[in-house]
């Protein structure tokens, strides 16, 4: 599937990683998607909806990687924040705290192949309206 991250790739990011074969990466321009559209006529509502989908806690969606071309259903979404001195764990905890219906959070710290400190989280969310947990 190639690599995302470096200049000239489908999604230019502050990190780089390989994408599974046949998965398709597309950049997300949150500023453009959140801008009010004169044609839609919904003004602030459309902007608020786009903002709710493209921003979570301290981060903004920057890339969406679609598994459908490989025969699977799902997406890998890449979120980025502003450069600074915030640690990865703190940013991730604020990202999860901004999600509704979160439970069973488990955080794991690790070192990347490049020697950077990273954090991952596993958690579930419950949509009470449709009584679905994922």
Average pLDDT over residues 99-117: 88
Angle (CA) 112-27-37 rounded to 5° is: 140
Phi and psi torsions of 11, nearest 5° = -130, 115
Tokens 């453009």 appear where? 32
Residue 26: enclosing H or E segment and its boundaries? Answer: strand 24-27
Average pLDDT over residues 27-34: 78
pLDDT at residue 95, rounded to an integer: 92
pTM: 0.78
CB 16 within 8 A of CB 5: yes
Q: What is the dihedral of CA 93, 44, 77, 9, to 10 degrees?
A: -120
pLDDT at residue 86, rounded to an integer: 77
pLDDT over threshold 60, residue 102: yes
Domain regions of the chain by residue span: 1-81, 84-134
Q: Distance between the two ends of the chain, CA-based, in angstroms?
A: 26
């Amino acid at each position: 599937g190639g690599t995302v991250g470096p200049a000239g790739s489908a999604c230019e990011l502050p990190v780089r990683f390989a994408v599974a074969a046949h998965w398709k990466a597309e950049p997300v321009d949150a500023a453009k998607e959140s801008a009010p559209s004169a044609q839609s006529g919904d003004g602030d509502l459309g902007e608020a909806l786009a903002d709710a989908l493209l921003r979570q806690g301290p981060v903004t969606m920057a890339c969406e990687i679609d598994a459908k071309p490989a025969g699977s259903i799902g997406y890998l979404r890449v979120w980025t924040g502003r450069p600074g001195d915030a640690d990865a764990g703190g940013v991730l905890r604020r990202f999860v705290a901004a999600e509704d219906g979160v439970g069973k959070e488990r955080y794991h710290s690790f070192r990347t192949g490049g020697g950077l400190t990273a954090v991952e989280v596993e958690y579930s969310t419950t949509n009470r309206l449709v009584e679905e947990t994922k």
